[in-house]
Amino acid sequence: MKLLNKTLVVMAMASTMMVSGCNSLIPFPPSNTYDLTAPRDFSGLKGSSRAQILILEPSALKALDSQEIVVKPSSSEVEYLAKSQWSDRLPKLVQAKLIETFENTDRIRAVAKPGEGLVIDYQVVSDIRSFEASVGGVKQALVSISVKLVSDRTGKVVRSKVFTETSPLSGTGSLDIVFGLDKAFDKVAREMVSWTFSGI
């Protein structure tokens, strides 16, 4: 009888392990992947420049330095949007879209990222302070980026500014949040371009 009981226990454990092993092979449902859009219409932009500028990858705190989309139920809570992600790490994505934004103006000689071999006049050094959706209380998207315009020849900061914009959320679904963040980023990117042009 004791031998039979031991055999049943071993068989039950083996069965459990097999089920667990099968479950580990079941893939998680893929995350929805979202992109930011670079502003295109700059018909009202004044001036142009023959300068060549370098857009460095922005720095960011660890909570923002990933593909996760940040949502905040309160000012002190940080969560991530379920089953959703950016198309790349947020700093790299912002860098790419800022480069595209400057190119879309058609009013600058050249814009590049490090390693592309241009003779640079100015560097745009930035830090992502906020890139989040507030879903508790006032529901809004918030984008805040600190920017320094640095002369590549002297290494001196020509000017600096923090750009902060918000956009109301029409809901708390994934598309509502991403759309709100994209609109807030659009405002910040436009302001950055205009501000940079007036300083070079």
Q: What is the mean pLDDT of the chain?
A: 87
- Provide the residue range defining the domain that includes 156: 34-197
Q: Which residue, among 119, 129, 126, has the nearest Cα to 153 in the 3D structure?
A: 119
Q: Which amino acid is at 6?
A: K
The pLDDT of 135-159, averaged and rounded, is 96
Q: Which of 34-48, 142-156, 157-171, 183-197 has the least mean pLDDT?
A: 34-48
Q: Which of 6-20, 62-76, 95-109, 176-190 has the least mean pLDDT?
A: 6-20
Q: Cα–Cα distances in Å, from 34 out to 47, 101, 103, 108?
A: 33, 18, 22, 29
pLDDT of 40: 93
Structural tokens at position 166? 């918000």
The yes-or-no verdict on residue 13 having pLDDT over 70 is no
* Structural domains in the chain (count): 1
The yes-or-no verdict on residue 155 having pLDDT over 90 is yes
The pLDDT of 66-84, averaged and rounded, is 96
Is residue 23, in this structure, part of any structural domain at all?
no
Is residue 100, in this structure, part of any structural domain at all?
yes
Percent of the chain with pLDDT over 90: 74
- Rounded to whole angstroms, the Cα distance separating 13 from 6 reads 11
The pLDDT of 97-125, averaged and rounded, is 93
pLDDT of 22: 43
Q: Which CATH number goes with the domain that contains 43?
A: 3.40.50.10610
- Rounded to whole angstroms, the Cα distance separating 43 from 80 reads 37
In 152-191, beta strands by DSSP E:
157-168
Is residue 103, in this structure, part of any structural domain at all?
yes
Is residue 151, in this structure, part of any structural domain at all?
yes
The pLDDT of 145-169, averaged and rounded, is 97
pLDDT of 117: 82
Please tell me the total number of residues recorded for the chain in this structure: 200
Is residue 26, in this structure, part of any structural domain at all?
no
Is residue 25, in this structure, part of any structural domain at all?
no
- If you write DSSP's letter for every residue of 11-52 in order, what string do you get? HHHHHHHHHHHHHHHSPPPPPEEE--------TT----EEEE
The pLDDT of 55-81, averaged and rounded, is 96
The yes-or-no verdict on residue 64 having pLDDT over 80 is yes
pLDDT of 75: 87
Is residue 62, in this structure, part of any structural domain at all?
yes
Q: Which run of H or of E encompasses 80?
A: strand 79-80
The structure tokens 């990117």 sit at 189
Burial label for 179, CB within 10 Å (0-12, 13-18, 19+), is: middle
Strands 140-151 and 122-134 turn out to be antiparallel
